[in-house]
Structure 1
């Protein structure tokens, strides 16, 4: 099982300069590798493997001495990223999805370096990076498990972070009880409705900051290009975006932590967010709530805590009566489920959450469950 830890680091001015140079060199290697593979296929119909690009990298380092400033495994990882981009492209083509051919990185668009086990280490409150030196790091919590990789990332606001990928032992799943199960229906009116009747309000972080963001973006648009004023205004815009992102991420982590601590079995809808974003009337609101972030965060914590998370088909979960199974058609504007067959009347989101729990339990072989509704 893999787990990640993220810490703020504080490189000196000279170290920031070296890191920026490394990122620029990595960007160039990324683009050169992408061009090499693209040209080879278009010219000769030949596909170049990751192993072949690694061999060519040795020649590039001989012809361009500046590449030796970057730790060798970091450069190799750049070519791994290109290889993964092509694999994802061919997978999308095979599945009939919109493929999205790998794109070249513009200046300033490459923002992370990945070190493997031999290129870094932590000692005496410092993070040692090969060819960069010892960097102050804020270790606000201990790292558990065996560290496999370290990724150094530069944020748009100029902050730097170290992200460690750690390998830990798998946790055996403990038995869970009927009272520790829950189905969750996510929405826009409420962020989430639980099958036990609890609702979680939608915080609408982007909507709260929208006016402030518009104000600083107007100031940015008025600043002449290439001036210090524009650079300063851009940094303010990036800080607002970072604040929104941080609040949204913190919210998702807090909710997922509470769910995993409270329930041993959690069922979500398996939503296709990308298709839902095609609805331009709701796209901004859907992006703001970040349902996928909640699901992924819950899955990660559940795997570590020994809980179980399942995703179920969302079709008809809002239309089906949770008591008798009758399909009761209703528009999005209708917020109450009223069944003409059995007389059940309740909030439509609560009805959907109970259906999601039932489908989730059926997916693991349990046919019925007594819904505990507050």
Structure 2
């Protein structure tokens, strides 16, 4: 799906109506989860029928658009289906048993319940919740898309306001996907990247990108705001204001991390024709409680996501390689030199002395060349024919080609 986000501007009464719509969607989802707990043999169609009964029983549920209620049912069933899937696959650990939501932050409409203005700068929600007309503040141009291309409209509540997201189907907007690609001249360069905690990454040329550590820098301020929340009386207006200030700070840090990953990834892709990086499983790495905070603060997942996105946009090649033993093997002779995490210098008997991360980056690039195979001839010979689509090893190619267009319009 192609996602276009705008900030929704309205009155205080409209914001209250959005909150009510979100709470109603949460109510429908939780009711469906409870219904499934009491009747384990129910399916998705049974939940749809139960939703119809809820709309007949509760007037505030009937006031919400019927498609929005169906989306809430879909969210409930997706959590149930995921639980059953994890049980069948015998996933180790917790299976993700469906839980009740306490603080939902979005409500999603399908093709009804909303109407765009002729200028595509305003949207009107036509259900009985009373949201009404909202101004859309943003730089995206929705005039390029037909109304039948917009499959979903989502209202999202964040600490700094309310946002409207439009989800367009990529299959019906091939022209937009083609125009999103940018032609770039081959540079004849290839690079391997080794991400870390001390440095954001070290490349195969020995260059290092410093780790900004946005969360660590803002941790003192976050602690101060958290203490202010704890001092306020529960349920009071002052406590809500303190929670909002804390949420805004967290939101700022997450946006800083995302923008940093985006800018660095764009620079790396534009400067090289082939980029090899580690195929890390962040979910497993953060299980180490000693390093979890630093790993999450580094933003490796965001960096990889933008590398793959810009690889498709600029027609460059991105390859995720297996990171096993890249730090232990000598990049010069291939000998295994065992070292602990505290050993930061690679010293081999062949006389090769390198920084540990630099040595790993060179090994990652070599693995990338081996994986790419004939791709190297395309880089050395720009006139040769070949597919320049970014390829992620271990993933389905069709899935790679359908990249989500969520780039900031400022680029």
Q: TM-score range, shorter-chain basis?
A: 0.7 to 0.9
Mapped to 1, the partners of 2:126 and 2:205 lie a distance apart of 52
Mapped to 1, the partners of 2:66 and 2:358 lie a distance apart of 55
- Cα 1:302–1:81 change in 2 (3 A) is farther
Give the length in aligned residue pairs.
360
Report how far residue 182 of structure 1 moved: 2.4
Report how far residue 189 of structure 1 moved: 0.7
User: CA RMSD, aligned part only?
Assistant: 2.6
**How does 1:110-259 map onto structure 2 within 5 Å?**
110-123=104-117, 124=119, 125-131=121-127, 132-143=131-142, 146-155=149-158, 157-166=159-168, 167=170, 168-169=173-174, 179-259=188-268
Question: Which residue of structure 2 aligns with residue 359 of structure 1?
Answer: 367
* Residues 302-335 of structure 1: CA deviation (Å, up to 9, x unaligned): 3344333332211101111122221111121222
Which ranges of structure 2 fall in alignment gaps of 5 or more residues?
378-411
Bigger Cα displacement from structure 2, 165-174 vs 269-278: 165-174
- Cα 1:265–1:118 change in 2 (3 A) is farther
- Cα 1:58–1:228 change in 2 (3 A) is closer
Report how far residue 127 of structure 1 moved: 2.1
Question: Which residue of structure 2 aligns with residue 17 of structure 1?
Answer: 16
- Cα 1:194–1:150 change in 2 (3 A) is farther
- Cα 1:92–1:173 change in 2 (3 A) is farther
Mapped to 1, the partners of 2:124 and 2:267 lie a distance apart of 35
Mapped to 2, the partners of 1:130 and 1:181 lie a distance apart of 53
SS for the counterpart of 1:246 is helix
Mapped to 1, the partners of 2:71 and 2:183 lie a distance apart of 38
1:270 paired with 2:279, answer: yes
Q: Is the 8 A contact 1:358 1:368 kept in 2?
A: no
SS for the counterpart of 1:179 is coil
Question: Which residue of structure 2 aligns with residue 349 of structure 1?
Answer: 357
TM-score where L is the length of structure 2: 0.80
1:314 paired with 2:317, answer: no
Report how far residue 247 of structure 1 moved: 1.0
* Residues 180-222 of structure 1: CA deviation (Å, up to 9, x unaligned): 4322111011011122333211000011111111112122222
TM-score where L is the length of structure 1: 0.88
Mapped to 1, the partners of 2:184 and 2:248 lie a distance apart of 45
Mapped to 2, the partners of 1:72 and 1:264 lie a distance apart of 49
Mapped to 1, the partners of 2:183 and 2:238 lie a distance apart of 58
Bigger Cα displacement from structure 2, 258-267 vs 206-215: 258-267
Q: Is the 8 A contact 1:154 1:160 kept in 2?
A: yes
* Residues 243-287 of structure 1: CA deviation (Å, up to 9, x unaligned): 111211111221222233333432221212222222222221111
Report how far residue 162 of structure 1 moved: 1.6
Q: Is the 8 A contact 1:176 1:265 kept in 2?
A: no
* Residues 139-194 of structure 1: CA deviation (Å, up to 9, x unaligned): 22325664332221001x25111222232426599999683432211101101112
Report how far residue 133 of structure 1 moved: 2.5
Q: Is the 8 A contact 1:176 1:264 kept in 2?
A: no
Which ranges of structure 1 fall in alignment gaps of 5 or more residues?
370-374
Question: Which residue of structure 2 aligns with residue 372 of structure 1?
Answer: none
Mapped to 2, the partners of 1:114 and 1:66 lie a distance apart of 17
Bigger Cα displacement from structure 2, 269-278 vs 285-294: 269-278
Mapped to 1, the partners of 2:268 and 2:151 lie a distance apart of 29
Instruction: Give the one of 92, 102, 123 matched to 1:97.
Output: 92
Report how far residue 90 of structure 1 moved: 2.8
1:61 paired with 2:25, answer: no
Report how far residue 13 of structure 1 moved: 1.5
Q: Is the 8 A contact 1:192 1:199 kept in 2?
A: yes
Q: Is the 8 A contact 2:8 2:163 kept in 1?
A: yes
